[in-house]
Structure formats: C-alpha cells, structure tokens
Amino acid sequence: HMPTEVDGGSPKAAIVIRDPSTIGQNLRIAHIPDRALVETGESGPLPVRAADGRRPFDVYARPWSGARGAR
C-alpha cells in the first residue's frame, strides 16, 4: 500500500498494488462465473467491473507462461 497525499497534507487514499501471480483460482469451480463480475443484459450475461475494482479480464486471464513472442 502506498499512501497518497493531497496538497502535502495527511494521506487521503491508498493505492493498492497486487501481484497477479499470487491470485489463483480453485480448478473445481473455475467454470462458474464470479457473480460480482457479471450483470444480466438483454442478450444474456455481460462482464462488468466488480465493486472492489477487479476487472473480468484480469480475473479470468491465464497466468503468463514466460514464453517469448506472439502465439
């Protein structure tokens, strides 16, 4: 956490930096969408940003393999 200051005063907010490699998913429930990341639209479920700031792109992304170049 890094506190941010407004006009040189006391900290007003914190910036949270998370290491994506520490976020894992239970493989038994990996196929079930996170309800916080889905809203129902006219044509079905739509991805949305969660109230805590998580993005579906980040949550559902595969970890980087370390391979170089494009696939």
Number of domains in the chain: 1
> Residue 22: is its pLDDT beyond 80?
no
- In this prediction the pTM is 0.49
Q: Are 34 and 45 in contact (CB under 8 A)?
A: no
Share of the chain above pLDDT 70, in %: 72
Helices and strands counted in the chain (H then E): 1, 4
Q: Is residue 44 part of a domain?
A: yes
Does 16 or 52 have the greater pLDDT score?
A: 52
Alpha-carbon distance of 44 to 40, in angstroms, equals 6
Q: Is residue 55 part of a domain?
A: yes
Q: Is residue 40 part of a domain?
A: yes
Q: Are 34 and 25 in contact (CB under 8 A)?
A: no
Q: Which domain, by its residues, includes 50?
A: 24-63
Mean pLDDT of 30-55: 92
Q: Is residue 56 part of a domain?
A: yes
Alpha-carbon distance of 42 to 37, in angstroms, equals 17
Alpha-carbon distance of 60 to 24, in angstroms, equals 10
